[in-house]
Amino acid sequence: MKIGVVGTGYVGLVAAACFAENGNEVVGVDIDEAKIQALREGRIPIYEPGLAEIVVHNVGEGRLRFTTDIDDAVRQSDILFIAVGTPQDEDGSADLQYVLKAAEQIGDAMNGPKIVVNKSTVPVGTAAKVKATIESRTKHAVSVVSNPEFLKEGAAIDDFLKPDRVVIETSDPATEAAMRELYEPFVRSGKPILCMDNVSAELTKYASNAMLALRISFMNEIANLCDATGADVESVRRGVASDSRIGGAFLYPGLGYGGSCFPKDVKAIEHTSREFGAPMEIVAAVERVNARQKTIMLPRIEKALGGLSGKKVAVWGVAFKPRTDDIREAPALFLIEGLLAKGAAVSAFDPKAMDHAKRVLPPAVHWAKNAYETLSGADALLLATEWNEFREPDFAKVRSLMRRPVIFDGRNIYNPKTVRAHGFEYVGIGRR
């Protein structure tokens, strides 16, 4: 199939690369000329495992190209995906200006019937707005489909190529057949293609992310209760996760969730619920719990060190999760700013996200060349992102470099007994 993808950000670039990987002719469109030129040269603007290899391979094979000319992309494509940003407005709602601008441009350039697919995360009613926008600018027939993405940063390629499910909306049999044909190669393992109405498809994405965010926040509250009662959250977690009705996914306590999806989507669905007169009290509570969780370790560090003024804290990890360079809403950012505000010196390291973090954090942060360099003369080590390379450090070396052997494990990746056996004071989230 001939496919156009409007927007070469995280979702758009992954989608374009994966569609090309399955043999389709794909053109990615973006207004950013520098980004397009970089992509043509095989330089990828984001870190996502496996993405660069797929982009370079398919560009080389001639199945994937990039352009700033949306008119050409529209004319050359049978199916057009809108994968532009939907930033959050001050009231928590999704800003649709980029989605509707893309719809206008598609409508202006149409040279025949097209299928237009909303891949961006959008609120209820967006498909109707996109369809109306396009139809106001063309006489050609257009079918608008909602097709939300369910990608996890750090595993996006596998998630796209081998999805748990594909959600599409269309009331037109011919459009449904075309979308099924496009996605059939991705679901040969038997995973479902779920067809539903537009409103349900749009709400499914928000509902999925809100549910996952709820599980994380619930487990964080259980961990805090464990701290108060003396229970061990890892024992509790295993006990809960062993229930087949619950399972273990997204039940790991820590410093709270961040990234581009959960914070924005939780706020968006909560805004939608209020807009339609069906307020979601649980979702509103999830947002409050997460905001609190991001800073919960700060007073513990301050108490353990007898104040923070003049103290040095080493921070391992600034990305919101491992296997990505995304720092949006990352708990580490809140903690580092809090440490600096209380007079602490901060030395930090992250395998992939430091360049982004340098742009938003104060210049007082010392950025180390590796994890061990952060530790020289440190009064405490704060583990903020669970990168694999942090999981089994040389604890003897860590202790020898630090002024005071204290580890604050914000992701519960260390065994408290093991850490204490090496002579450290250990503070986790709900661990004992």
The most distant pair of C-alpha atoms in the chain lies apart, rounded to whole Å, by 74
Answer yes or no: do 149 and 227 share one domain: no
Give the global pTM: 0.92
The residue annotated as part of the active site, out of 18, 195, 226, 261, is 261
Range of the domain at 401: 297-427
Answer yes or no: do 323 and 391 share one domain: yes
What is the rounded CA–CA span in Å between residue 256 and residue 197?
33
In a domain, 121, yes or no: yes
pLDDT tens per residue across span 237-283? 999 999 999 999 999 999 999 998 999 999 999 999 999 999 999 99
In a domain, 221, yes or no: yes
Answer yes or no: do 54 and 178 share one domain: yes
Cα 326 to chain centroid distance, Å, stands at 7
Question: pLDDT value at position 260?
Answer: 85
Q: Which of 263, 293, 323 is the last residue of a domain?
A: 293
Banded pLDDT at 198 (limits 50, 70, 90): confident
The residues, any chain, with a CB within 8 Å of residue 8's CB and separated by 6 or more, are 16, 28, 29, 30, 32, 35, 36, 39, 66, 83
Question: pLDDT value at position 244?
Answer: 97
Answer yes or no: do 69 and 212 share one domain: no
Answer yes or no: do 55 and 76 share one domain: yes
| Residue 18 bears catalytic tag | no
Question: pLDDT value at position 19?
Answer: 98
Overall average pLDDT of the 191-215 stretch = 94
Q: Which of 293, 319, 346 is the last residue of a domain?
A: 293
Overall average pLDDT of the 158-172 stretch = 93
Count each helix (H run) and each strand (E run) in the chain, helices first.
Answer: 17, 14
Angle at 429 between CA 425 and CA 432, to 5 degrees: 55
* Residue 107, H or E segment: helix 97-109
The two three-digit tokens of residue 255, written as one number: 């410093």
The two three-digit tokens of residue 279, written as one number: 């307020």
In a domain, 403, yes or no: yes
**CATH number of domain containing 148:** 3.40.50.720
If one counts every other C-beta atom within 10 angstroms of the C-beta of residue 397, the result is 11
In a domain, 406, yes or no: yes
* Residue 246 phi, psi dihedral angles, 5° rounding: -110, -55
Answer yes or no: do 50 and 121 share one domain: yes
Q: What letter does residue 144 receive in the DSSP assignment? A: E
Q: How far is CA 105 from CA 30, 34, 115, 134, 281, in A?
A: 12, 21, 14, 8, 39
Answer yes or no: do 249 and 162 share one domain: no
Give the HSE-up count for residue 194: Cα atoms under 13 Å, Cβ half-sphere: 18
Answer yes or no: do 161 and 234 share one domain: no
Answer yes or no: do 228 and 179 share one domain: no
Residue 427 region by backbone torsions, left for phi larger than 0, else alpha for psi between -120 and 50, else beta: beta
pLDDT tens per residue across span 61-75? 999 999 999 999 999
Q: Which of 293, 326, 350 is the last residue of a domain?
A: 293
pLDDT tens per residue across span 316-346? 999 999 999 999 999 999 999 999 999 999 9
Task: Give the number of domains in the chain.
Answer: 3
Answer yes or no: do 72 and 181 share one domain: yes
Answer yes or no: do 192 and 53 share one domain: yes
In a domain, 432, yes or no: no
The two three-digit tokens of residue 410, written as one number: 């914000």
Answer yes or no: do 319 and 228 share one domain: no
Q: Is pLDDT of 5 > 90?
A: yes
In a domain, 39, yes or no: yes
